[in-house]
Chain A
Amino acid sequence: MLTAEQNDELTAVEPGTRMGEVLRRYWYPVAFAREMAEFPVKRVELLGEFFALWRSPSGRYGIIPEPCPHRKASMAYGVVEGDGLRCPYHGWKFDTEGACTDQPAEKDNTNFQSRVRATAGKVEELGGLVWAFLGPDPAPLLPRFDVYVMDGYRDIGWADIPCNYVQVMENAVDPHHVEHLHGRYFEFIGNHEGFTAPASFGKQHQRIGFDAFEWGIIKRRILSGASEDNDDWKVGHPLVFPYNMRVGGGGVHQMQIRVPVNRTTTRFMLYTVHAPEGYEAIEQPAIPDYEIPVFDERGQHVVNYVEGQDIMAWCTQGPITDRTTEHLGRSDIGVSMLRKMFKQQMAAVENGQDPLGTIREPHERIDLPCEKDKFHAGGAQFALDFCDMGSTRYSPMLDTIRKVHLSAAEQVGKDKAAGRPSFTPAGGIGDATLAAGTDAQVDSGPVG
Chain B
Amino acid sequence: MSSPPDRRFAADAEAHRRDAPRFCPNCAEPVDLASEFWEGDDRRFYCWCAACGWTGEIAPTGDTAIGHEPPH
Q: Of residues B2, B10, B13, B50, which shows the largest number of chain A Cβ atoms within 10 Å of its Cβ? A: B2
Say which residue of A320, A322, A339 sits within 8 Å of B33 (CB atoms): A339
Min C-beta distance of B20 to chain A, whole Å: 7
- Contact status B33-A340, CB under 8 Å: yes
The 8 A CB mask of A318-345 against B (1 = contact, 0 = none) is: 1111101101111011011101100110
In the bound complex, what is the Cα–Cα distance between A1 and B34 (angstroms)?
Answer: 8
In the bound complex, what is the Cα–Cα distance between A263 and B5 (angstroms)?
Answer: 18
Say which residue of B1, B36, B37, B38 sits within 8 Å of A333 (CB atoms): B37
Q: A1-B16, A3-B17, A343-B48 are in contact. Are A328 and B35 (CB under 8 A)?
A: yes
* A4 interfacial contact with B, CB 8 Å: yes
Query: Which residues of B from 15 to 72 have beta carbons under 8 Å from A?
Result: 16-17, 20, 32-39, 46, 48, 50, 55
Min C-beta distance of B41 to chain A, whole Å: 13
* A286 interfacial contact with B, CB 8 Å: no
Say which residue of B9, B33, B37, B38 sits within 8 Å of A325 (CB atoms): B9
* A7 interfacial contact with B, CB 8 Å: yes
* A391 interfacial contact with B, CB 8 Å: no
Q: Which residue of B lies closest to A320 (CB)?
A: B2
Min C-beta distance of A4 to chain B, whole Å: 7
- Contact status B1-A263, CB under 8 Å: yes
Min C-beta distance of A31 to chain B, whole Å: 27
Which chain B residues lie closer than 8 Å to A200 at the CB level?
none
Which chain B residues lie closer than 8 Å to A347 at the CB level?
32, 50
Q: A320-B3, A324-B16, A325-B13 are in contact. Are A343 and B32 (CB under 8 A)?
A: yes
* A264 interfacial contact with B, CB 8 Å: yes
Q: Please classify the interface of chain B as helix (H, G, I), strand (E, B), loop, or mixed, using the class held by over half of its residues.
A: mixed
Q: Which residue of B lies closest to A4 (CB)?
A: B2
Which chain A residues lie closer than 8 Å to B3 at the CB level?
317-322
- A contact residues, total (Cβ < 8 Å): 32
- Contact status A329-B13, CB under 8 Å: no
In the bound complex, what is the Cα–Cα distance between A347 and B5 (angstroms)?
Answer: 28
Which chain A residues lie closer than 8 Å to B46 at the CB level?
333, 336-337, 340
Q: A320-B3, A322-B6, A325-B12 are in contact. Are A1 and B50 (CB under 8 A)?
A: no
Which chain B residues lie closer than 8 Å to A320 at the CB level?
1-3
In the bound complex, what is the Cα–Cα distance between A288 and B34 (angstroms)?
Answer: 44
Min C-beta distance of A346 to chain B, whole Å: 8
In the bound complex, what is the Cα–Cα distance between A327 and B12 (angstroms)?
Answer: 9
Q: Of residues A3, A263, A325, A335, which shows the largest number of chain B Cβ atoms within 10 Å of its Cβ? A: A325
Min C-beta distance of A27 to chain B, whole Å: 26
In the bound complex, what is the Cα–Cα distance between A267 and B12 (angstroms)?
Answer: 33
- Contact status B37-A328, CB under 8 Å: yes
* A281 interfacial contact with B, CB 8 Å: no
15 A-B pairs in the complex with CB atoms less than 8 angstroms apart? A1-B12, A2-B34, A3-B20, A322-B6, A325-B6, A325-B10, A325-B12, A325-B13, A327-B12, A327-B38, A328-B35, A330-B39, A333-B46, A337-B46, A340-B35
* Chain A residues engaging chain B, CB cutoff 8 angstroms: 1-4, 6-8, 11, 263-264, 317-322, 324-325, 327-330, 332-333, 335-337, 339-340, 343-344, 347
In the complex, besides A1-B13, A340-B55, 14 extra interface pairs with C-beta distance below 8 angstroms are: A3-B17, A8-B2, A318-B3, A319-B3, A321-B3, A322-B4, A322-B5, A327-B38, A328-B38, A330-B39, A333-B37, A333-B46, A339-B35, A343-B48
